[in-house]
């Protein structure tokens, strides 16, 4: 028996894209496969190559999304900002094109909408993470509030905000500022992390996040994010675990204290 199509009339799907049109096609099809529709779909492209732009225009006709283009590659911050400006719905589901929702996302999104509509203090509902956040306070339906205190020891607690798939109010940037432009993806994300924390943002995450989305980077369309060689070394050497923890904790706290937010 075919599942009923869920139509989220108050939600815009915002997808940032750069040179991964096959991944974008897979993402759009995955929502059709689990029978989810949105009030609007915005694809914000960061000046992709011609072959991807051609495919984007083909996909636009098929999936009826609004394409927000750029005449120059300006980075993730600008790509999110211009895409968000095109949103007209009260809520935004933000996803980068290399993610794929699983069947469980149908119910998780319903629960998230219910949660954020009823609790006006919630700014962000997250659906994915690389690891469990160290400080969580259960709410309901598997969602927990992400807690932060500068004096608590874990580096990972800083990541209350994340660019991973999330639902937010479409006026998010009025409270937390626009995404920083002119920086690499890591700096752009962490500047929003700091802004979110300093402005007392409230985020929740589903504790079963590994069963909601997959992140897929193929050989054809690998990750577009670059990493500095020192960071690659830190991530690859187990013998550097303790220095890595100290380094990350120190850097995060210095940034929190001294970085300016918009």
Here the CATH number for the domain that contains residue 54 is 3.90.550.10
Query: What is the arithmetic mean of pLDDT over 204-233?
Result: 74
Residue at 56 is within a domain? yes
pLDDT of residue 34: 96
Positive or negative: CA dihedral 18, 23, 28, 31: negative
**Cα–Cα distance, 101 to 33 (Å, whole number):** 10
Domain count for the chain, please give it.
1
**Cα–Cα distance, 17 to 68 (Å, whole number):** 10
- Looking at every residue in the chain, the average pLDDT score rounds to 91
According to DSSP H, which parts of the chain are helical?
Answer: 21-33, 50-63, 76-85, 105-118, 172-176, 185-198, 229-236, 241-258
**Cα–Cα distance, 51 to 57 (Å, whole number):** 10
CA 259 to chain centre: 22
Q: What percent of the chain has pLDDT over 70?
A: 90
pLDDT of residue 234: 42
Report the SS3 class of residue 128: coil
| pLDDT tens for each residue of 70-103 | 999 999 999 999 999 999 999 999 999 999 999 9
Report the SS3 class of residue 180: coil
Does position 240 have pLDDT exceeding 70, yes or no? Answer: no
CA dihedral 55, 57, 59, 61 (to 10 degrees): -150
Answer whether 167's CB lies under 8 Å from 113's CB. Answer: yes
Query: What is the arithmetic mean of pLDDT over 136-155?
Result: 95
Residue at 245 is within a domain? yes
CA dihedral 29, 31, 36, 39 (to 10 degrees): -80
Residue at 146 is within a domain? yes
Does position 191 have pLDDT exceeding 70, yes or no? Answer: yes
Residue at 38 is within a domain? yes
Residue at 105 is within a domain? yes
What range defines the domain where residue 186 resides? 6-258
Token output for 173: 């940037």
pLDDT of residue 229: 44
Does position 218 have pLDDT exceeding 80, yes or no? Answer: no
Query: What is the arithmetic mean of pLDDT over 157-177?
Result: 97
Residue at 1 is within a domain? no
């Amino acid at each position: 028996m075919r599942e009923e199509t869920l139509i989220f009339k108050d939600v815009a799907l915002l997808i940032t894209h750069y040179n991964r049109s096959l991944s974008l096609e897979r993402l759009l099809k995955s929502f059709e496969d689990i029978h989810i529709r949105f009030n609007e779909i915005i694809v914000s492209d960061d000046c992709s190559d011609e072959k991807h732009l051609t495919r984007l225009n083909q996909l636009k006709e098929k999936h009826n999304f609004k394409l927000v283009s750029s005449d120059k590659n300006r980075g993730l911050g600008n790509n999110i900002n211009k895409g968000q400006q095109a949103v007209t719905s009260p809520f935004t589901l933000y996803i980068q094109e290399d993610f794929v929702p699983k069947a469980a996302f149908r119910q998780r999104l319903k629960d998230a909408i219910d949660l954020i509509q009823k609790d006006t203090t919630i700014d962000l509902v997250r659906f994915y993470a690389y690891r469990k956040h160290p400080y969580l306070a259960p709410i309901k339906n598997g969602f927990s509030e992400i807690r932060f205190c500068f004096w608590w020891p874990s580096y990972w607690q800083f990541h209350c905000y994340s660019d991973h798939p999330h639902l937010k109010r479409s006026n998010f940037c009025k409270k937390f500022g626009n995404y920083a432009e002119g920086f690499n993806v890591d700096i752009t994300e962490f500047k929003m992390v700091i802004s979110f924390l300093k402005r007392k943002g409230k985020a929740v995450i589903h504790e079963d996040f590994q069963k909601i989305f997959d992140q897929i980077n193929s050989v054809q369309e690998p990750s577009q994010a670059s990493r500095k060689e020192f960071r690659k070394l830190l991530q690859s050497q187990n013998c550097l675990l303790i220095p890595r923890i100290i380094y990350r904790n120190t850097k995060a706290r210095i940034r929190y204290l001294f970085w300016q937010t918009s």
